[in-house]
Structure 1
Amino acid sequence: MALNFKYLTAKLAQQIDEELMSTAGAFSIEQLMELAGLACAQTLARVYNKDKYPRVLVCCGPGNQGGDGLVAARHLGMFGYQPTIYMPKPGSKDIYQRLKTQCDNMKIHTIPPSNAVDDLKAALASSDVILDAIFGFSFKPPIRAPFDSVLPLLTESKLPIVSVDIPSGWDVEKGNAEGVGLQPDVLISLTAPKEGVRQFGGRHFLGGRFIPKALEEKFGLNLPEYPGSDQIVELPRTKL
């Protein structure tokens, strides 16, 4: 396994995403979300067996990160888990709405927006693990409403947390410097790890098995090999 993979700044992560969806990569946003969400679902399933952790609370933000979460919720349902979707602020884009409809069609429960905080507390009390897909690499502190009341509740629940790409509340380059972000047990980085998670000490996976060799070489990503047909690969633990 390559140990000297590149950590991405926000600017570089954005540039790679743009190239993936340009003629260089020729991917659609739908393709990338589907592959990313599948990797997220596989990571949770790898660490938290459905026999012991069947009830997954999938917390989705309004952007592409939330879209990844909705895809993951659908796959988790197919894997035999019992996902519940919580959206503090639902996304307005057409792709987000279609992903949500796909989950509705699978009879995956979504917490209604009314009285959301009390409903979130009840959902946390009846969940086994959290999938955090709230903020992506474009997030910049401070945390604003309604998320400023949501993140503390997730932390106070003491449930294990799997974060997508960057733990919610962390700066993509400075990490949890302000101390307001989630402290997940597991992180699934997408494309390549971000600068802010260099010191992350939990179990760390890489997902998004879609980077063309040409782009990997162009940006010097030096990605590890994915084993067999897996969509994820576990990275060595950081020594703190």
Structure 2
Amino acid sequence: MTLKTLGAKKAAELDQELMSEDGGFSIDQLMELAGLSVAQAVYKVHPPPTNSQSKPKILIAAGPGNNGGDGLVAARHLHHFGYTPVVYYPKPTNQPIFTGLQKQLHKLSIPFLTTPESFTSELQSADLVVDALFGFSFKPPVRAPFDSVLADIIQAKKPVLAVDIPSSWDVEGGPPGEGLVGHEFMPEFLISLTAAKPSVRWFKGERHFIGGRFLSKAIADKYGLDVPDYRGVDQIAEVEVGVKVEKL
């Protein structure tokens, strides 16, 4: 088996095509579908216990871009799935789509952490961390305040689900060099959105999912992608870790 991957340029082109007049999607729709996929991946790797009053605490670290927006959407779905989501969003984006997502979470009484100290404290009791800091457009190195956020996540040694690519990784080149923040960052779980990115060749975690069940066969064929074998109502499909990677 060969896993076909999209580099940053092709991934951006695909997003633009989906959101074109001919493609018909809006950024809101794509973010909603991505966030739902993230929430379902959490459910797969850490299902809530049945017949229990205890709700797993999921700590979502959200960055300033669309990757962070995916995390905010996931927090809403996780609340309805039976979890206790907690959000750390240190640099909120002042755009309608992001302010709307925050309002939705406030209406559900989902807590937002406001200080680095509160984030560090919440990490100690979290059952799982969602890394939604940076996506495929990220360019190293990690800058403040996110360098401290990522360092805290690594030090806490909690299970992590990374959204699209592990934060601090270059979409093409993988983990940063020795001595840089994120050099030793290896999440247990990864959910690639729409398609895996080339950096997945360095992923040595436990489970890898593809999420985003919205590509038509025509679009997938145009970009040389294989549509995953989604089952039933699933928005994600699990793929084998460590398979040969082909960049398109």
1:210 to 208, 214, 217: 214
Q: Which amino acid aligns with 1:142?
A: P
Give the alignment of 1:122-141 within 5 angstroms: 122-141=121-140
Distance 1:167 1:93 in 2: 25
Q: Secondary structure at the match of 1:209?
A: coil
Deviation, 1:176, is: 0.4
TM-score by length of 2: 0.91
Deviation, 1:224, is: 2.1
- Percent of matched pairs sharing the same residue: 51
* Count, aligned residues: 235
Deviation, 1:145, is: 0.7
Structure 1: 5+ residue stretches without partners: none
Deviation, 1:53, is: 7.0
Deviation, 1:239, is: 5.9
Distance 2:242 2:20 in 1: 34
Q: Secondary structure at the match of 1:183?
A: coil
Distance 1:226 1:70 in 2: 24
Distance 1:10 1:84 in 2: 30
Deviation, 1:121, is: 1.1
Q: 1:160 to 1:231 in 2, by over 3 A?
A: same
Distance 2:2 2:241 in 1: 13
Distance 1:177 1:134 in 2: 15
2:230 to 218, 226, 231: 226
Q: Which stretch has the larger CA shift, 48-57 or 89-98?
A: 48-57
Partner of 1:189: 192
Distance 1:4 1:236 in 2: 10
Q: Which amino acid aligns with 2:239?
A: L
Instruction: Note the alpha carbon deviations across 1:135-177, whole angstroms, 9 max, x for none.
Output: 0111001111111111110000010000000001100110104
Instruction: Note the alpha carbon deviations across 1:56-83, whole angstroms, 9 max, x for none.
Output: 0011001100110000000000001000
Distance 1:133 1:196 in 2: 16
Distance 1:237 1:24 in 2: 35
Query: Is the 1:204–1:236 Cα contact (8 Å) retained in structure 2?
Result: yes
Q: Secondary structure at the match of 1:130?
A: strand
Give the alignment of 1:50-129 within 5 angstroms: 50-51=48-49, 54-112=56-114, 116-129=115-128
TM-score by length of 1: 0.94
Q: Which stretch has the larger CA shift, 10-19 or 52-61?
A: 52-61
Give the alignment of 1:3-22 within 5 angstroms: 3-22=1-20
Q: Which amino acid aligns with 2:48?
A: K
Q: Secondary structure at the match of 1:198?
A: helix
Distance 2:38 2:75 in 1: 9
Distance 1:119 1:71 in 2: 22
Cα RMSD of the aligned pairs, angstroms, is 1.5
Distance 2:241 2:9 in 1: 25
Structure 2: 5+ residue stretches without partners: none
Distance 2:167 2:202 in 1: 15
